[in-house]
Amino acid sequence: MIPLSTPALVIALLAAQDSGRRVPILATDEAQTYEAKSLAPDTALRLYDVGHLTGHTRLRDLLAGFADTANRIEIEGAIARLERLERLRTEVRSTTDSLVATIREMISPPLQEDIQRVDHLDRGSLALVGTRVQHEWLAQFLEAASGFNGLIDVQASIYVLEEGGLAELSQVRSGEVLSPAQVTALVGELELADVTAVTSPRVTTFPFQEAQLSIIEQVAYIKDYELKILPEQSVEIADPVIDVVNTGVIMQVRGVPLANHKLGIFASLEYSVLERPIRTIEMTLGAMGHQVTIQLPHVTRVMLEGRFEVLPDETLLLATVDPAGGNEVLALLRVTRVENVQVELSEDR
């Protein structure tokens, strides 16, 4: 068994050739295939060009526009392109990491540690050491992603209410894709329920880009005191140190195009609630005996995450419960494909 790290992918296979084993190289339209007899049967390394998905192709095109010049107008244009280049590089790194993470999480059958793996080599070149079935899955996945010319729109309706306040919730589970009738019934109950918080953030992103939807409440509290001494006046001042605790709902969403017009949704929901009233303690500070009170906030956090597959215009339900306060957090995610967007024409996206 050969443990493969990223730089060792090709080295391990070349070592097989050096030891006298046959390593045929097969050229295909979409990939180069290197079979190594020292690896598990039916395992091959293939290199895939995904630069059109990660943005490396656009990055190369932008780099090609630079040339030596002393022309002022051309220099001003070059400065603008350099600024776009910096933004694009950041975007490309993020999209590449997301693409690789998505493949690792979704590939079927799953990758076996130390034997199979997928990595981004450089400049939009993706390497997969896997079986024939895994390469077939990746080819279909990349074909679906390449054929998706558009955006992914996520409309999230987030509710916070008392646990057990809705009868309709007993009929569905978190992570379930709801039918239109179920959505209508659930929303109808929510409109009549005692909902303590509701928001409907909406975000439109490119495939493989992560978006954050949130309801955040910032609560200031006295964390500590700083004792300031003024010797010339024989005065001590107890100066409060103010800090902020964040509570509410934070949801991370990433959408990816799949085969058969489906969308893969990676979603995580974090709900945090502050125990009220905030606990306090009194203490004596300094030689002059200042009586001060500091606050000790206690925040309960609940996390829910998962991977789901939906068809366009379907609604996904995420739900979790705060064990300390008895509140229930619901998130209804309606996912839509926004097609026919000429994304390749924009350098700034």
Q: DSSP of 248-299, one letter per residue? A: EEEEEEEEEE-GGG-EEEEEEEEEEEE-SSPEEEEEEETTTTEEEEEEE--E
Q: How many CB atoms lie within 10 A of CB 207?
A: 23
Extents of the domains making up the chain? 8-146, 150-341
pLDDT tens-place string over residues 133-155? 999 999 999 999 998 888 888 88
On whether the CB atoms of residues 99 and 50 are closer than 8 A, the answer is yes
- Which pair of structure tokens corresponds to residue 325? 């306060």
Residue at 276: amino acid letter: R
pLDDT tens-place string over residues 7-29? 333 333 333 333 333 333 333 34
* pLDDT of amino acid 14: 31
H or E, element range at 117: strand 117-122
Q: How confident is the model at residue 340 (pLDDT cuts 50, 70, 90)?
A: low
Q: How confident is the model at residue 220 (pLDDT cuts 50, 70, 90)?
A: very high
Q: What is the mean pLDDT of residues 150-173?
A: 75
Considering the chain, what percentage of its residues have pLDDT values greater than 70? 81
Task: Quote the radius of gyration of the chain (alpha carbons, Å).
Answer: 27
User: Which alpha helices (DSSP H) does the chain contain, by range?
Assistant: 8-18, 51-54, 56-63, 72-106, 132-146, 180-192
Least confident range of 31-45, 143-157, 288-302: 31-45
Q: Is 31 left (phi over 0), alpha (psi -120 to 50) or beta?
A: beta
Q: How confident is the model at residue 44 (pLDDT cuts 50, 70, 90)?
A: confident
DSSP class per residue in 211-257 = EEEEEEEEEEEEEEEEEEEEGGGTEEEEEEEEEEEEEEEEEEEEEEE
Dihedral over alpha carbons 82, 88, 94, 96 (to 10 degrees): -110
| Range ranked top by mean pLDDT from 228-232, 242-246, 298-302, 331-335 | 242-246
Nearest residue to 298 via CA among 283, 270, 278, 281: 278
H or E, element range at 129: strand 125-131
Nearest residue to 309 via CA among 273, 271, 257: 257
